Amino acid sequence: MLNLGHSDLIRKAISKQLSKVWHTLEIPSETRVEFMKELRKSFPSNMRSYKTMFGISGADACETAMNLAHSVSGLKASTVAFEGAYHGVHGGIISATAGRVYKTPVISSGMNIIRAPYPYEMWYDYDTNDTLSFLEKAVNDPEAGYEKPDSLIVEPVQGEGGYIVPPEGFLRALREFCDKNDMIMIIDEVQTGLGRTGKMWGFEWDSIQPDIVCVSKSIGGGIPLSLVYYREDYDQKLPTPFHLGTYRGNALALAAGTAVLREIPKYLDRVNSDGGNLQKRFGQIGSPLIGDVRGKGFMIGVELVENKKPLSKTKMLSIKHTMLGKGLLMHTCGHFGNVFRFMGSLNIPAEYLETGSRILEESLKAS
């Protein structure tokens, strides 16, 4: 699940930091300066002057990003989020997460969201233009019944929603829409970031410049760390204090993060070539259960169907157990829980890829 797995390199970085200091609160330190240098370098050159706000989890980063947008706009506004989106389950951000399963009547859902369609051609007949038409109505028709949004949050490839890759140009179209309508564009790179899709950041596939980027998961190499990377001019508009937390920017996590940021670029070519080959191989399995194989880099979804409907959860579980019995753990995701996802670490040994692919193939053929 983490992009560098149980890497010795990260263990060494953490051990080295542990021999110095492991908790500094948010004061400047060499560890932090080193991390910031690597972080800035990892973004396209037009984003190197952005500011950073640290957090602990992906949900924390996404919630902070949305609060940041509202503080910058100065409005009590809504945010556009998408069908199938997953941005975490904290008290506020859970409003932006789509799945009913994550929400119960007793969990507060305090943020104001406009839910927009995300192109998902397997089941729904809409594309980028349909999303744009919906947004045009929701944002600019005062009688449409939506509170005016000041921001939009989107995953470059949907993760928990089912490893859904939007059409090329989707993010670019959203960027243009945000520019036209004075909206802040937030990209959630919690899952897609740090090489997972074959580029350092998923938004780079569409060559856009987001206003705010949410980062977490792999950045701390297994030590809790998240951050919001945002336009420098936003800083002047934030109240003080804006975002606080004892463990933000923890020294151990930052040391691990520096190692992660230095290591990931070495794997990008591999992720693109092996990811492409894997996708082709999964597509050739030839089981009638396979409805779609899609993805980018090392983020590949295999969506299973039966009688033109999503494969039942019981059958998914049974296949999962079969694979587990043979030594392969594959998580599921998707609107209907019928997508097996490949999310191996970017440095996974080639023989594991081979063995895993074989087990998936055998298990699907036997089901």
Site string for ligand PLP, 23-62 (x = CB under 6 A): ----------------------------------xxx--x
Give every CB contact of residue 30 below 8 A, 6+ residues apart in sequence. Answer: none
Q: Identify which of residues 188 and 263 has a Cβ nearer to ligand PLP in the complex.
A: 188
Name which of 83 and 188 has its Cβ closer to ligand PLP.
188
Query: What CA–CA distances, in Å, run from 185 to 46, 122, 299?
Result: 16, 26, 23
Work out the angle at residue 237's Cα, subtended by the Cα atoms of residues 171 and 189, and round it to the nearest 5 degrees.
30
Rank residues 86 and 298 by Cβ distance to ligand PLP and give the closer one. Answer: 86
Q: How far is the CB of 202 from ligand PLP (least distance, A)?
A: 10
Q: Distance between CA atoms of 326 and 7, rounded to whole angstroms?
A: 24
Nearest Cα to 34, choosing from 247, 255, 238? 255
Selected binder of ligand PLP within 32, 70, 87, 335 (CB under 6 A): 87
Backbone angles phi, psi at 214, to 5 degrees: -100, 130
The reply to whether 64 sits near ligand PLP by the rule CB under 6 A is no
CA distance from start to end of the chain: 26
The least CB distance from residue 228 to ligand PLP, in Å, is 12
| 298 lies in the site for ligand PLP, by CB under 6 A | no
How would you class 19 by CB atoms within 10 Å of its CB: exposed for 0-12, middle for 13-18, buried for 19 or more? exposed
Contact 281, 360 (CB under 8 A): no
Smallest distance, ligand PLP to C-beta of residue 341, A? 11
Mask of contacts with ligand PLP, 213-252, x by CB under 6 A? Answer: ---x------------------------------------
Closer to ligand PLP at the Cβ: 93 or 139? 93
Half-sphere exposure of residue 361: CA atoms within 13 angstroms, side-chain side: 15
Scanning 79-147, the segments in alpha helix (DSSP H) are: 128-140
Show the binding pattern over residues 171-210: x = contacts ligand PLP (CB under 6 A), - = does not: -----------------x-xx-------------------
Q: Looking at beta carbons only, is 59 or 72 nearer to ligand PLP?
A: 59
Nearer to ligand PLP, 59 or 290 (CB): 59
Backbone angles phi, psi at 152, to 5 degrees: -145, 135
Rule CB under 6 A: is residue 88 a binding residue for ligand PLP? Answer: yes
Q: What's the half-sphere exposure (Cβ side, CA atoms, 13 Å) at 232?
A: 6
Report, in Å, the least distance between residue 257 CB and ligand PLP. Answer: 14
Interacting residues toward ligand PLP by CB under 6 A: 57-59, 62, 86-88, 155, 159-160, 188, 190-191, 216
